[in-house]
Structure 1
Amino acid sequence: MNKYTYLLLLLCLVQLPLQAQNLLQYEWEENRKQHTLTAKEQEEPAIALLNRQSYEYAVDEEKGALKQYTLTHRIVKVNTDNAIEQHNRIYIPLHNTESILQLKARSISPDGKVTEVDKNNIKEIKDDDSQGAYRIFALEGVVKGSEIEYYYLEENSLGFFGRAYFQSAIPCRKAVFTLECPSFIQFDARSYNGFSSPVETITDGMRVLAAEHSNIPALRKQEFAKYNANRQRIEFRLNKNLRYSADPIFTWSDAIGYINNQVYQLEAKEDKAAQKLYKSLKIDASLTPKEKIHKIENHLKTNFLIQKGLGSGKLEEIIKGGYGSELGLVRLYASLFKLAGVSHEVGLTSSRENIRFDPEFSSWNYLETYLFYFPALDMYLAPEDMMYRFPLIPYDNTFNSGLFFNQAAAIGANGKQPYTIRQISTPGYKANFHNMDIQLKLTPALDKVLLQVRQEYGGYSAAYLQPAYALMPKEQREEMVQSLIKFAAPDAQIEKYNITGGEPNTNVLEKPFVIDASLNSTALLERAGNKYLLKVGQVIGPQSELYQEEVRTLTVENEFNRMYDRTIRIELPEGYVVKNPEDIRINKIFKQNNAETPHCLFTSDYKQTGNMLEITIEEFYNEIECDLENYEKFREVVNAAADFNKVTLVLEKGKAN
């Protein structure tokens, strides 16, 4: 959508007088009593009795401008001291907030005493890390059994897309969503993860979307799961301005038109600066597209920085200053790819760590992160993330959908740029690895273990290690490498080490990050009478565990597919045997349906030749997701690795069988 169309839309929205600001008349119930809890609710540390999120679009009659208002109203019952500590301090984020129009807060004790917050105690705090500010205050008079209640009304920066969460770590008795606007404006809304679907009504010239849901269970964070993506929520978007047209607006096609202009529309001085930079790169026409991409990316990520929200978007300023905004760098990449004759698509997607992209609901809130896609190579590039190198992109953008378009594609019969919703694939497990080759030998005095350790990191397992190592000063490199080496033995005395694959701009899908180290440890060996205990399991490092007894509620979602191949060779002391070698053998394989390759597995085995004991371990995770029905099988594999980590071999004098 070009700027002219966008401004025309806003003009049409405010042409006629509208019914104004119903939320300004909102009040809580005065002089009310406490709610009565059910027996089950009394057992909860805390429960949200009300979670209300209301939105209104109306006209400020004095200014003749469209305004957006948001009302948040919450009541929380606290039944324990820990719950009081968690809930009596209230944070109000001020991101996209023009002003707070109303703010009230109170506590109601079990004996009916009401304590309202002193507005002089409300503080506003700037938070540079989160690029915003927030208001904070604490409620007094809160004891076990109190109700904490607060509501606030904001005037927001105008936006046509929204997201409201209604599920949290405590259960919620009643959740309410409303969105009001003039009847000739139509919003569309979609619920997720079981929340009630909004219903539309029109009354007195106002269109209202409303949904209410009761008894929402608590959603607690669990290992191998994405929390926000699984919370009950509602997404909404402006769908039509019936005064302007009956056609939908803010569609994916409109988004592509807007992005196309943002990325590819250059002023003459920008185009001139881009051509000058391209010429300086000396990209030979005989290079393959892959080689050209590498050269462009390596130059930009080595010589330019992104200043989030602050940098310039103009190419001549970026090239001169060496830094720019996220969009500015995307524009520079696109210009250089065009000059190099590299066929590409520009795309936007979301982070599935937070919210998975929904192709069926065209909320522009999903358009968070830029990617480039190269159709001839079926590969992606992440222009905004300086730590990744083509063709690896952040794992949270993979196993997800995204909106893509090719600027060179012919305009469709509808006069709009064609687009594609792409499924962004994730690399297979063999591409992402942390492999180990370890040799153990006891000193003649049997007082310590000598280790030769080789660790190989590739793909996503190396995605942050390798680039960080390449950029770090020497002292920080030492600290980083020592922590990685001590992964195999926390008390290790490091004798020497060597790094390969640590050069800048290394493609970790092709060249792994490798640490070779010599070290010794006393903690891996214990004496117990005439026996020695060799803690061989510890050399693979700490492992994830899923031993908890709580009921699993969230689908497993791995960050990325991965593998761990490990070989451990133990030179046994002369005259000693291992009394419990069978403890090494673990075999957990989860195969789904008739799949040729298991979903995941952990197997460990051994063989002994003379005084040399060789242990081989294979572990991999071949799928991103595992449904609840198969969770126990996934859990067994994860815990098998944790079980091996606890294996201790008993060495005793004797003859080998």
Structure 2
Amino acid sequence: MRKWIIFLTVGICIANITTAQINNYFPDTWKTQPESPRLTSDAPYTVVDNKLVADFNVSAQDKAEGCYQYKIAYKAIRINSQAGADSLHQLVLNFEPNDELRSMRVRAINQQGEITNLESKVRTVRLPGNRRAVVIQDLSLPVGTMVEYEIVVRYLYNTSGSEFLQTGLEAEHVDFRLTGPKNYTFRIQTTPGVPAIKDSTSGELQFHSISLNKVPAFISSDLFYTLPNLKRVDYAVVQAIEKKDTLKATWQQYGEENYIPYVAVSPQEFKKLERELQRLTFLARPMAPAQRIYLLEQYIKSNFTLVFPDETGATQDISWILSNKKADETGMIRLLNASYYLMNIPTQILFTGSRDSIPVTPEIPLRGVAKNVLLYFPTLNQALAPTEMLTRFPCYPSKWSGITALRCRDTLVGSQSKVLTDFITTPVVPYSFSNVTLEASLSDVQNPVWQVTQSFGGYPSSNIKTAFTKAGDVQETRNSLLNSLLPFQAGERRASNVAIENEVFTPYTLEKPVVLKSSLATPALVKTSPQEIRLRIGDLLGGTIPTETDIPTNNYPIQISFPYYQEKRINITVPSGFKLANSGNWNATIDDPALSYRIKCDQNGQQLTIFIIEWYKQNDLSGNSKLKFKAVQEKIRQIQKLEMVLMK
């Protein structure tokens, strides 16, 4: 039985913990004598109740410590079936770095109303990226049990937030409430399908509430990102009047606060950096700006180490960084940006999110969303990720491409430098740059040994180089990577003469492909008789990855990792007197402005050639392009199962 883990991603914060409990906002929620409701549902579990609170009525002490809001999350989950009981082993509650857990209650209520305290089963786990999770483990609860938990958190250094109102579990009731002083101005927006917000006031407080009933479980897909498509509410303080002070929170303010530390460089730092760049002889050669950008990034990321910030701030100082060959993330951004400035290559800074998370939205300043930094080159409309040590220009994490970003640059107004901000779409590398080719030749059908040459450029090249860089000199890992790149299923081929070139990052740009050559013996894929020869080459033409034909419903787009171009050419020497019998299966054309798939088969005497071109111009495919994508997937799936039949 699959072990289910129910995740709750928490972005929240709370103050005085003795009073900040869910019953203060929704009375009679955490009941003294609760009952497990009797529900009729085919789902293994049901969220009986989910209540979320963001409270901006924080104490003066908490505000002085950087807490601007408290958050409370309450959830009650009922186990509906034996399958649910068998598979629910733990609950995992994920916290963001700025979340400070102040209290937690968790209990189980059986069908007779008996309460079991589960706090002894709670553990805290450290996660990468300075994040934590609370795990409620070893549950082993019977059918009909309801698990209740409440968490209270202080949310630090942020006047905005988001709450998901939908998860992978169906929910009977979901409530959200935002409360704050009347002298605060909030901006709130919801995703499609969320009911209208109800606004009210009481005394010096304001309230904004959303209530949903019978929220269906969200059905995820491998073809699109789940989190951005969940029902959600986003909110932010845009103005707060505190006595005689008026505080405003805008994207312009966010840009100024974050941009200036990256671009403000002292004369001493510039002087030392200028001397360092003069030592780099490769920069003295005449070359295109794109190549200069790549070579400088390659040099710095190959010779400098990314470290955690030092308490003294030394890891952000360019002079110290150049002497010690180490920098934290801020230092790495400053070093690269200042270097391109001295090389007379204009840069701007983009703050963006990720395609698999909450997007940056111009209408509402969600400060915690725009956490990914790009150096943008406006004259080229390309970018690089300064703190991602295993990416190279013009490729940066593909999940950051094609989405909204806050752009920051400076300009002179009179004698003063001003920060200008606006919103642009992060650049998408052209599909033709990320090219994959395969040429396979078979000269003797009776002794099937394929001579194969594969090449990978752009993002595929970057991904391969990242994997081999991580593998280092560990031969077992390198062999595993090579095995994953070769065509045909591993058990149906015997590889020899395997050689790979340019598989790690070097001074050669990503336009120079990774090249993989091999000889592949596939005797099990050939069946011969005096009058007929059958070749199973579906894995060679269609790949070994199962195709996905369950196209997202409604308005959800198909989202691919990055646009790309793929070309395959198969050359087979056919025995004299044999001719391809099922040629119709090896010819097809599927065209759309956003994608194309073409396969063509020709036989000229004993030479049989199959040629495939497949490309996708966009990250997201919608409308008629989704139907064309499905047609391509169906054709590839057909080819994967197809045999080539040669008749005498």
* TM-score range for the pair, normalised by the shorter chain length: 0.7 to 0.9
Unpaired runs of at least 5, structure 2: 1-15
Q: Distance in 2 between matches of 1:150 and 1:412?
A: 58
TM-score, normalised with respect to structure 2 = 0.86
2:615 corresponds to: 620
Contact 1:174–1:215 under 8 Å retained in 2: yes
1:638 to 630, 633, 639: 633
1:595 corresponds to: none
2:505 corresponds to: 504
Q: Distance in 1 between matches of 2:417 and 2:280?
A: 37
Distance 1:295 1:651, change over 3 A: closer
Which residue type is aligned with residue 578 of structure 1? L
Do structure 1's residue 316 and structure 2's residue 319 form an aligned pair?
Answer: yes
1:348 to 341, 348, 351: 351
Alignment of 1:179-194 (within 5 A): 179-194=178-193
1:516 corresponds to: 517
2:173 corresponds to: 174
1:425 corresponds to: 427
Contact 1:455–1:514 under 8 Å retained in 2: yes
1:339 corresponds to: 342
1:159 corresponds to: 158
SS of residue paired to 1:365: coil
Which residue type is aligned with residue 36 of structure 2? Q
Percent identical residues: 18
Distance 1:631 1:379, change over 3 A: closer
SS of residue paired to 2:459: helix
Contact 2:89–2:140 under 8 Å retained in 1: no
Q: Distance in 2 between matches of 1:330 and 1:647?
A: 51
Distance 1:334 1:98, change over 3 A: closer
Q: Distance in 1 between matches of 2:308 and 2:197?
A: 35
Q: Deviations over 1:391-417 (max 9, x none)?
A: 22222221112111223x224999952
2:35 corresponds to: 33
Q: Deviations over 1:64-97 (max 9, x none)?
A: 8464322111112222233335545222335447
2:562 corresponds to: 560
Do structure 1's residue 579 and structure 2's residue 581 form an aligned pair?
Answer: yes
> Which stretch of the first structure deviates more once superposed, 481-490 or 383-392?
481-490
Q: Deviations over 1:495-548 (max 9, x none)?
A: 314434446335655222222222212232235897442102121321442244
Which residue type is aligned with residue 223 of structure 1? D
Q: Distance in 1 between matches of 2:99 and 2:641?
A: 56
Following superposition, the deviation at residue 630 of structure 1 comes to: 5.4
Following superposition, the deviation at residue 388 of structure 1 comes to: 2.4
Which residue type is aligned with residue 233 of structure 2? I
What is the total number of aligned residue pairs between the two structures? 620
Q: Deviations over 1:251-274 (max 9, x none)?
A: 121122112321122356544443
Do structure 1's residue 372 and structure 2's residue 405 form an aligned pair?
Answer: no
Distance 1:543 1:467, change over 3 A: closer
Contact 1:88–1:148 under 8 Å retained in 2: no
Q: Deviations over 1:457-503 (max 9, x none)?
A: 11222221135446732724444234322457653322314434446
Distance 1:140 1:421, change over 3 A: closer
SS of residue paired to 2:315: coil
Q: Distance in 2 between matches of 1:366 and 1:105?
A: 30
Following superposition, the deviation at residue 222 of structure 1 comes to: 0.7
Distance 1:375 1:245, change over 3 A: farther
Q: Distance in 2 between matches of 1:105 and 1:481?
A: 48
Contact 1:106–1:116 under 8 Å retained in 2: yes
Q: Distance in 1 between matches of 2:328 and 2:82?
A: 46
Do structure 1's residue 493 and structure 2's residue 494 form an aligned pair?
Answer: yes
Q: Distance in 1 between matches of 2:490 and 2:520?
A: 9
Q: Distance in 1 between matches of 2:96 and 2:486?
A: 43
Contact 2:360–2:404 under 8 Å retained in 1: yes
1:116 corresponds to: 116
Contact 1:176–1:213 under 8 Å retained in 2: yes
Which residue type is aligned with residue 154 of structure 2? E
Q: Distance in 2 between matches of 1:615 and 1:412?
A: 65
1:5 corresponds to: none
Distance 1:209 1:385, change over 3 A: same
Do structure 1's residue 304 and structure 2's residue 304 form an aligned pair?
Answer: yes
SS of residue paired to 1:312: helix
Alignment of 1:193-592 (within 5 A): 193-243=192-242, 249-267=248-266, 270-282=269-281, 283-284=283-284, 289-307=289-307, 312-407=315-410, 409-411=411-413, 416-442=418-444, 446=446, 448-469=447-468, 472-473=472-473, 475=475, 476-487=477-488, 490-502=491-503, 504-505=505-506, 509-526=510-527, 531-540=532-541, 541-548=543-550, 554-589=556-591, 591=592
2:13 corresponds to: none
Following superposition, the deviation at residue 358 of structure 1 comes to: 1.8
Contact 2:38–2:144 under 8 Å retained in 1: no
Which residue type is aligned with residue 599 of structure 1? A
Unpaired runs of at least 5, structure 1: 1-17, 592-597
Contact 1:488–1:539 under 8 Å retained in 2: no
Q: Distance in 1 between matches of 2:518 and 2:20?
A: 69
1:603 to 598, 602, 606: 598
Q: Deviations over 1:295-339 (max 9, x none)?
A: 321221111122366793222332233222212100111211222
Contact 2:34–2:109 under 8 Å retained in 1: no
**RMSD between aligned alpha carbons?**
3.2
SS of residue paired to 1:519: strand
Q: Distance in 2 between matches of 1:502 and 1:97?
A: 39
Q: Distance in 1 between matches of 2:63 and 2:538?
A: 71
TM-score, normalised with respect to structure 1 = 0.85
